[in-house]
A and B are shown apart, each in its own frame.
Chain A
Amino acid sequence: MKNLVKFLFIFSYVSIFPNLAQTFAKTPSEKGLEIAKIMQERSEGYKGEISSMTMTLINAHKEKIERKMTGKVLEIQGDGDWSLSEFLSPLDVKGTKMLTWSFKNESDKQWLYLPAIKRVKRISSSSRYSSFMGSEFSYEDLGSQDIEKYNFTWLRDEGKNHVVQRVSKEESGYSKQIIYVDQKNYSVRKIEYFDRKNELLKISEFFEFKDYKVGAKTFHKANRITMKNVQTQKESIFEWSDRKVGVNISKSELTEKALK
C-alpha cells in the first residue's frame, strides 16, 4: 500500500508537473514585456530633470561639430513626459526651443519656436522619423519610449544582459529594435535599430552611468549615448552635464507660454 502511494506520487509528479511547468512558463512575448515593465518601473518616480547637453555630430570624413542645448523634463504620472529643450549652438539656431508633450495612447505633440522669424511652429507627428538637428538621433529615438507603444519579445540572455526585441505598434522609422538590458539594474546598454528593409541601420550604446537618488529610489542613468549609423558611417554623441534629477518643475513651465 505504502509502495502504491509512493508510485502514484512519483507518477503524478512526473506526469503532471511538466504540464504545470508548461502552463506557468512565460512565452518570449510575456518575458519581453515583463523585462520592459521592470525597466519602466525602475525609471518612474524621478519627478523632473534639468540638464545641459552637448551633441557632437561626426560625419563620414570624421569632421565634427558640436551642438549645445539645455533641457528640462517633467514626469507626468500615468502618461508620457513633457519636455522643453533650448538650443545654444550653433549660433544660427541659438534660441530655438522645442516643446514636446508625450502621451501613452496617442501621438506626441511638438512645437518649435524659431527666433529668427519669431514664430511658434507646430511639428507634425510624421517628423518623428526625421533627424534631430542633423544628428543620427531621430525624434523617435529621443521621444516617448512608453511600453504601451511597443510589442516586446525576449530573444535570449547574453552575458550580463537580457536581449529583447521591440516593435513599434505605431508607424515607425524602424522595422524593429533589439535592446540589450542590464540584468542587474535593468538599464539599457545598447540598442540596434533595423530599417524598414530589416537591415541593421544604427547602433546606440550607453556609457558613463551615474546614480541619482530621488527620495528612497535610485536612478541609474547614462550620461553619454553614442549613435552610429552603420550604413553611412556617421556618428552622433549625446552627453549630459550639470544634470539634476528629482527637480520640482511646474507644468506651466512646459507650455507654449515658455516657448516665446
Chain B
Amino acid sequence: MNKFFHITLFAVFLANSAIADLGGEISFENRYFPKNVANSTGTEKEDYNLSAYGRFYLENTNENFSYKLSAFGRFDALDEKRRFFSIEDLYLEKSFSEVMKLSLGYKVYNFSVLEIFHPTDILNSRNFDGDFERLEKRGEMSLEYGLYSLTSSLSFYYFPLVEKNIYPGAKSRFGYDRTFDTYKVATEDEIITNKRFHPQYGVKANTKISDFDLSFFYFKHIDRNHPLFLFDDYITSPMLLPKNSKAIVPHLYEVQDYGFSLVGEISGTLLKFESVYHDFSKPKEALLYDGARFLLFAPENYMEGALGLEYLISLENGHDVTLFAEWQKIIFEKNSYQKMAIPFQDDLALGFRYALNDIAGTEFYTFILGDLSGREEGVVSTKFSRRFNERIRYEVAGRYIWAQETDNFGLRALKDDHYLSFNLRYFY
C-alpha cells in the first residue's frame, strides 16, 4: 500500500517534471572524531566518517494546485547504518479557495521557533546521528486540511503511519555496540513490535496579535523524538528478568501533546518561547534496568519549555552580528529514567552569528551550551561557511562536548562526541 502510494506519486511527479522546478545539492561530508569509545571493548580509537549526502527536490506550484517531492540520501563509506534514502516531502496540495487547502502525502513539520532547542518539534521520525540543533527529519504521511485568514490559520492533521527512526549503528561513534532494527509501539492497551499503521491526529492554530505570532496545538500521536530503550520481553517468575538480556528495543509511546509557541518583538529584540506538556495517560509498562535492578517502567507526564532572545546588531562596516540566548528546562515530578531520552534538561545556550555580507556569503556561527543545574556538562560548537562560487559552498565546523557525570542522564549519551568536519556542498 505504502509502496504503491510512493510509486504513484513518483509517477505523477516524473510525468510533470518537464514543467516543474528541479534542484538540490550534493554534499561531501568528512568528519573526524578524535575519540571513539567502543562499549564492547572499552577501547578508545580515532575515527573518521566519510560520506556523501544528496538532496533533490522537484516542485510545481500554480494558483490552485501544487506538488512537491524532496528527498535525501546518504552513503557512508564506513558505517552501513548511515547509508539510507529518506523522503522529506512527497505531497499533492489543492487550494479550494483563498481560505481552504487540502494536502495529502509525506511532509516534514517544523513547529519550533528557536535556534538550538526545539521542544515543539514533536512530529516526524528522524535520524538520531545528526546535530541536535538541526534535526534531520523524515517525511510524515499525512492528510492535512487547512483554513486560513489574513492573520490566522487552523489546520487539522491525520497521520495513519508510524515512520521508523534512524538510530546510530553498532559502528557509530556513539558506541552502542548494537543496532536497533526493530521498535515497539506502546499504547494504553498494547505493545506491538514494528507496528506500522496507527491512527494519529492533531490540530494546530496560528494567529498574530499585535507584535506577536502565536501558535497552539494538540496532537495525539506516537512519540518518536524521545524513544525509551527498554527490554524486548521479560518474565515475572521467579523474579523480574529480561528474556534476552541483550534485546533492548526502542519503545515509542503514544502521547497527547499540548503545545504553545510565541514570537514577538520588544524594542528590537525578538522574544521566543515554546512549551509542550506531554501526557502519556496510562501506558503499558516495559522492563528497564536502572543500573541497580530490573523494574517495570512506564513514561510519566512532563513539561518541556524553552525561552529565547535574539538581537541583531548591524555594524558600520556592513557586517551583521546576531546575538542569541536560549534556555531549555524540563519539569518532571521526580528524577525519572525518562530524562535519559532528553539531553537538555536545564541548559542555557549563548551564541552569535557573524555575517560579513560579502559576495561569498561568509558567515561564522558559534554557541556555547552549559547545564544550569550544576552538572558538569556542555557543548561548544563553531562553524565557518563561505561560498566558493555560484554552485559550491564549503563549511568547516568543530564541536567539543564535555559530560563529566557518571550517570546516564543529560549529555552523557554524547560524551566525548567531539568532531571536526569539512563539508563541500554542490548545488544544482
Contact = CB atoms under 8 A, between A and B. Distances in A.
B310 A124 contact: yes
Interface in B110-137: 110, 112-113, 134
B390 A256 contact: no
Contacts of A122: 113, 213, 263, 265, 270
Interface in B223-274: 263, 265, 268-270
A129 B320 CA distance: 9
Contact of B361 (A92, A127, A229): A92
A215 to B, nearest CB: 24
A124 B268 contact: yes
* Number of chain B interface residues as a range: 35 or more
* Number of chain A interface residues as a range: 35 or more
A19 B387 CA distance: 66
A129 B265 contact: no
Given A65-B390, A250-B98, A124 B427 contact: no
Contacts of B146: 257
B428 interface: yes
Contacts of A65: 359, 390
Contacts of A117: 110, 134
Interface of A: 57, 59, 63-65, 89-95, 107, 109, 117-119, 121-122, 124-127, 129-131, 134, 136, 138, 171, 173, 195-196, 229, 232, 234, 250-252, 255-257
Given A94-B23, A195-B316, A196-B316, 5 more contacts: A92-B25, A118-B108, A122-B263, A130-B357, A131-B318
Interface of B: 23, 25, 88, 98-99, 101, 108, 110, 112-113, 134, 146, 148, 150-151, 153, 206, 211, 213, 263, 265, 268-270, 310-314, 316-318, 320, 357-359, 361, 387, 390-391, 393, 425, 427-428
A90 B390 contact: yes
A208 to B, nearest CB: 24
Contact of B148 (A94, A173, A195, A257): A257
Given A92-B387, A125-B268, A119 B359 contact: no
29 contacts: A59-B359, A89-B390, A90-B427, A91-B25, A91-B390, A91-B427, A92-B25, A92-B387, A93-B361, A117-B134, A119-B112, A122-B213, A122-B263, A124-B265, A124-B269, A124-B310, A124-B312, A125-B265, A126-B269, A130-B320, A131-B314, A134-B358, A173-B314, A232-B318, A251-B150, A252-B150, A255-B148, A255-B151, A257-B146
A57 B359 contact: yes
Nearest to B59: A95
Given A92-B427, A94-B23, A134-B361, A126 B213 contact: no
